[in-house]
Structures are given as structure tokens and as C-alpha cells.
Amino acid sequence: MTDKDLRDRIKEVAVKQFNANGYYGTTIRNIANEVKCSLPMIYYYYNNKKELFDEIIKKDFFNVVKKQASHLKSDNIIDLYTKFIYNLNALSDYEKLVYRLGIKVYLSFDGDEELMNLMDEWEKSILPRHREILKSHTKNLDNEKAIVRTLVHLLETLIENIVVKNRYLPEDEIREEISIVLQGCVAK
């Protein structure tokens, strides 16, 4: 913690403050105070406030998301999604806050238009990706489209509960809810 690069410590504190007070509620001075460095050091490592914010979303947020999505593997689809969500509990505090800030931008509660467009693009990839996963794990369904939509909607609130509201969700509760949505896809 104390030996970490000052640049990383600045970003870590920034993530905390952007989360708590938003972009405009966060000041370079407050960041510097919490990092215990002088104010211009922020400008030594980052060109300006916006660039600091942008790097958190563009680099760190999408890294967390990609890392988490890479664990989407299992032959049992209910297991697969249960673990996908349950693993979020184990993210580090920093990763959770980065994820949370990303969701804030995703809902356009913070950030600017450029970041919003990035999020829009990312969002478009969600439904097709889960449709493929579902297709490869289940028999053909007539209401496949609706099930994928419902599943993704459910996943979204589960993620929000863990990451945004910072709550722990037990594995069996996650499994129950996913099973209810996928009960038509899966042989008992």
C-alpha cells in the first residue's frame, strides 16, 4: 500500500472519491489531501481531471469486466451463471469501486458523451453474447429471445446489488433466481 506507485495511489483515491461525490463533487485538492501529496503531483501523472476519470473507465473498468467475463465457462448453464454472479462477491474493494463507477457511467449518471458512447457499444454486445452461450447449452426454444432478455435483465440487478449497493449475495440465492428464469431451458 505505501510502496505502491504514487500514480496508482492517486487513481485509487480518485476512484473512491468519484464514486462518493461524482465527477464535479470530486476536487483535485481532496484527492491530493487523501493521497498525502501536493496538489500539482496529480498533474504530474495525469494531464487533467477528465483524463484521470477517463482512464479509470476506459482502462480499469473494461479490464474488470473482461476479466470477469472470461470466467464464463461450465457445462451446466445454471452453474455457469451462478458462478459468474457469485464471483463478483470476491472482487477486491478497488475492483468493485471501479465496476461501480463504470455502471454509474453506463447509466449516464456520470461521465460525458464520449464515455456514454463507449458504454452503448459495449451494451450492444451483451445480448448476442448471452444468446450464444444459451444456444450452446440448451435445446431449441420457441421463446429463446424472451428468455435471454429476462436472464440479462436479472443478471443486471444481481450485479447492481453486489457492486453498486455493495451487498453480499449468497450462492444459493443467486442459483434460485437464475433457475427460475432458466427453468424452461434445462432438463430437471
Partner DNA sequence: TCCTTTATTTAACGTTCGTTAGAATTTTAT
Partner DNA sequence: ATAAAATTCTAACGAACGTTAAATAAAGGA
Alpha-carbon gap, residue 164 to 159, rounded angstroms: 8
Are the beta carbons of 104 and 160 closer than 8 angstroms? no
- Can residue 165 be called a binding residue for a second copy (CB under 8 A)? yes
Q: Which range in 29-37, 70-78, 102-110, 125-133 contacts DNA by CB under 7 A? A: 29-37
Binding piece for DNA, criterion CB under 7 A, among 24-32, 131-139, 152-160, 169-177: 24-32
Asked whether position 40 contacts DNA by CB under 7 A, the answer is: yes
Identify residue 47 by its one-letter amino acid code. Answer: N
Nearest distance from C-beta of residue 41 to DNA, angstroms: 5
- Take residue 117 and report the three cell numbers written for it: 458512447
What does the alpha-carbon distance between residue 183 and residue 186 come to, in Å, rounded to a whole number?
A: 6
Cβ atoms of 89 and 168 closer than 8 Å: yes
Using the contact rule CB under 7 A, the part of the chain among 20-28, 66-74, 140-148, 176-184 near DNA is 20-28
28 near DNA, rule: CB under 7 A: yes
Site string for a second copy, 71-110 (x = CB under 8 A): ---------------------------------x--xxxx
Which residues make Cβ contacts (< 8 Å) with residue 65, sequence separation at least 6?
Answer: 99, 102, 122
What lies within 8 Å, CB to CB, of 186 at 6+ separation is 77, 78, 138, 179
C-beta closer to DNA: residue 21 or 125: 21
The binding site for DNA (CB under 7 A) comprises: 6, 26-30, 37-44, 47-50
